[in-house]
Structure 1
């Protein structure tokens, strides 16, 4: 096939997407499909079709992102927003307040906020708040508007909420009409939003687990655009592991009892140095990414791998790709023969542990991480995810063991801030800077809780 460079440049120019590393595989598949549909391999011709055919553009862009989302993802931020920030905002400003989920994918995030608001405010919620979801991918917007979900979309949703807001429909579940009619969806290109079609100004913009697709220059440009959509004293809320990577000088970072957000008013807000000093953390050098997202591009190896090494490495990278796309059974099928050949592969054990965790098999996940640490005690991702199983209640908590896990992450990464954690074929699913920051934060929270007692 023809070179990918023109397509990378074109996509970056039009949508800001940074298609390197494992993301390049998605671009290859999208270009292959485009060549088949148009009947040519000429890049100029293909790009011309994309520029003039909106439906073709939508289908092409839809293949380039991992629309990995689910209801009540990072619930602490949603509960803080609904129970703490929005009541404060209502008292200060009055309603109605406007909320935007930027990069909303198939709608789970704005619908989660809507459910949480209904739980707190009842029928008044629909007059107090206007909720909009925006995304560049028209196909996922169509799914959001349809409100039909299944499978892993419900993995973090409380069963009572599922019963209250969904009705069974064949092998899926249909969102109730009152929510579908309340939340509106609009096409939104984050490089060029406008206050006309998308609405606004917004009191809250959710920009969570989206910025992983953009390089730093593009993220800065997007923040400037989103800043224009914020109401006075409005806030921008990012994903928990993206926060430091989005502190780019456009907006000021605020820490409200462990929840980080950005605000445009610079006069009364602490700077990043003060925030980091309070948490005893250093900003990571690399852009931040969610726990299961596109890893950063790998460093070039000192010597090319042998042919015997290529197949396991490729399979491990494919397994990570499947994991990022919530295709857990497919990832498991790739990992099983690898572990049969090498039961002590640190890379395979770590990925198998993550698969088991998302398939709600926490003890199996813990055992995989334990085996990885037996082989490679320096595997800080295994230390981190073991501690997370305990902190998040997926296994009965053991405060001493949890504290020891986070302490190991901090010790290993302070000694070697760019450590791969003993992984040879894949990059750590969580960037080292994020892991060190979060481990310090969670360890500090535990210490404070113990001190109160």
Structure 2
């Protein structure tokens, strides 16, 4: 078979999966099976099909994913879960406790959660918990909903488990209906959980023995997304072999009994050293261009892992830096670039970890077509704060200007994983798809851009410096025009 690299890249891009050497054979076998069933002989043609058909891509993913799991895998995690819920019950509950099995496969983990709690607290606990299971494999979710299992799922604690199952004539075992009804399963991409309203505000998340399928960058994106949907004072469980690999400063790792688990403390902050903010104002979720008279978000917020840190600024220096940044931003808006860059260098001499100054510098260099220098500044931004949306948007814009559409799309998707409401990232993706004659992708992204602009206007573009020459109405009309244009191309 011809090279499978385009398939590997596409599946990684859409789902985050990374194929190790021993998994490539599974991919090849799955592709051959689907091509035979569809009567397709050319590999390039099937690649085009899965690019434009989400349904066919799902069918291929269903064949590729390996659903190897069993009840009470790493039993100590369920013991700790019972201890956590026992403490919550003793302290008095305020609403149901929400628990998520992320990458739930065929349901053994999610049902183990329910069974362990019922075993400890009785069936009455069902009134106090809400358990969800999510997996990208549709066949696995169907099996989870059915809750019918055979011997391989019962590798440990079989005698205890059998109390909760009914034996069938086909030598399989079906979970008691009352327990089956205690879990809500759904198909979902782990990179997109933040977009699902039903999965917000989790108290406990099990994300175990799943991250091994993803490359490091995707692992961190998923972990960040899980952190975002986790309530304060919530807990995140990973498999024993995965736990330490995710200790990157996003959540603190604590020991609970004899188990290490991530804990989102009520006043959560990154566990690694962060620079003090220039303003004593909490950093907002979205960043918009502001006039110099408006209060700016903190300029120095972020991690200084690789850049030298300056000494903490006193109150007078805070004011000086803010004033200097205001002037630099105003100069940049008036295209007085040399003066703006000079003031930015002054700011960075006083505070090398000032992310907003780095971002403004990168934007100016980008506008001057100095792509190499702009790229270096963006890498400095991500060294300070690897979840900085502006760094990824700017890198995406640079890649597009260099004609590297694949890298541009990758950077912009990363930005959208961090903040799905950024219309500018969607718009640039639409433009790239249109340039690549991907009418379906362009139409989809223009439609998302249109909805976001109609709902929230143009402020949520994600950049410090973005002088718009169009009004929101003009942008809306442009999107509508391009949607119609892409629809016409699809009909040809």
Aligned to 1:75: 75
2:97 maps to: 97
Q: Aligned equivalents of 2:106 and 2:73: distance in 1?
A: 13
1:57 shift after superposition: 2.4
Aligned to 1:351: none
Matches within 5 A, 1:320-339: none
Deviations 1:124-170 (A, max 9, x none): 21111000110000100000001111021011133132133333341
Distance 1:90 1:41 in 2: 60
How much does 1:28 deviate? 1.2
Residue 115 of structure 2 aligns with which residue? 115
Deviation at 1:41, TM superposition (A): 4.6
Q: CA deviation at 1:93?
A: 6.2
Measure, in 2, the Cα distance between the counterparts of 1:89 and 1:206: 18
Displaced runs of 4 or more, over 4 A: 266-273
Q: Residue 21 of structure 2 corresponds to which residue in structure 1? A: 21
Q: In the alignment, is the contact (CA less than 8 A) between 2:11 and 2:17 conserved in 1?
A: yes
Q: Answer whether contact 1:100 1:133 (CA < 8 A) is retained.
A: yes
1:103-130 C-alpha deviation (Å, 9 max, x unpaired) = 0000000101111111122222111100
Counterpart residue number, 1:229: 229
Structure 1 residues 153-302: aligned runs within 5 Å: 153-196=153-196, 198-265=198-265
Instruction: Give the alignment's Cα RMSD to 1 decimal.
Output: 2.3
Residues 2 and 268 of structure 1: CA distance in aligned 2, closer, same or farther (over 3 Å)? closer
For residues 129-144 of structure 1, the aligned pairs below 5 Å read 129-144=129-144
Equivalent-residue separation in structure 2 for 1:48 and 1:229 (angstroms): 35
With over 3 angstroms needed to count, the CA separation of the structure-2 counterparts of 1:17 and 1:57, relative to structure 1, is same
- For residue 272 of structure 1, report the CA deviation from its aligned partner: 9.0
C-alpha spacing 1:198/1:62, structure 2 compared with 1 (3 Å): farther
Q: Distance in 2 between matches of 1:217 and 1:271?
A: 19
- CA distance in structure 1 between the partners assigned to 2:256 and 2:121 by the alignment: 23
- Bigger CA drift: 246-255 or 203-212? 246-255
What is the CA–CA distance in structure 2 between the aligned matches of 1:243 and 1:221, rounded to whole Å? Answer: 15
User: 1:387-398 residue pairs with structure 2 within 5 A?
Assistant: none
Change (3 A) 1:56 1:198: farther
Provide the rounded CA distance (Å) in 2 between the counterparts of 1:134 and 1:93.
28
Q: What secondary structure does 2:233 align onto?
A: strand
Deviation for aligned residue 1:208: 0.6
Aligned to 1:88: 87
Q: What runs of 5+ residues in structure 1 fail to find an aligned partner? A: 274-453
Q: Counterparts of 1:144 and 1:164 in 2: how far apart (Å)?
A: 15
SS in 2 for 1:31: helix
Task: Select the structure of larger CA radius of gyration.
Answer: 2
For residues 268 and 3 of structure 1, what CA distance do their matches in structure 2 show?
Answer: 46
Distance in 1, Cα, partners of 2:201 & 2:241: 26
Name the CA distance, whole Å, in 1 between partners of 2:233 and 2:246: 18
Partner of 2:395: none
Could you say if the C-alpha distance between residues 41 and 88 of structure 1 is closer, same or farther in structure 2, counting changes exceeding 3 Å?
A: farther
Distance 1:225 1:93, change over 3 A: farther
**Equivalents in 2 of 1:58, 1:42: separation in Å?**
20
Aligned length: 272
Residue deviations 1:386-408 (CA, integer Å, cap 9, x gap): xxxxxxxxxxxxxxxxxxxxxxx
Distance 2:215 2:241 in 1: 16
Match of residue 4 from structure 1: 4
CA distance in 2, matches of 1:172, 1:260: 35
Q: TM-score under structure 2 normalisation?
A: 0.52
Instruction: Map 1:310-389; keep pairs closer than 5 Å.
Output: none
Preserved CA contact (<8 Å) 1:247 1:272:
no
Aligned-pair distance for 1:220? 0.3
Q: CA deviation at 1:203?
A: 0.2
Mapped partners of 2:163, 2:127: distance in 1 = 24
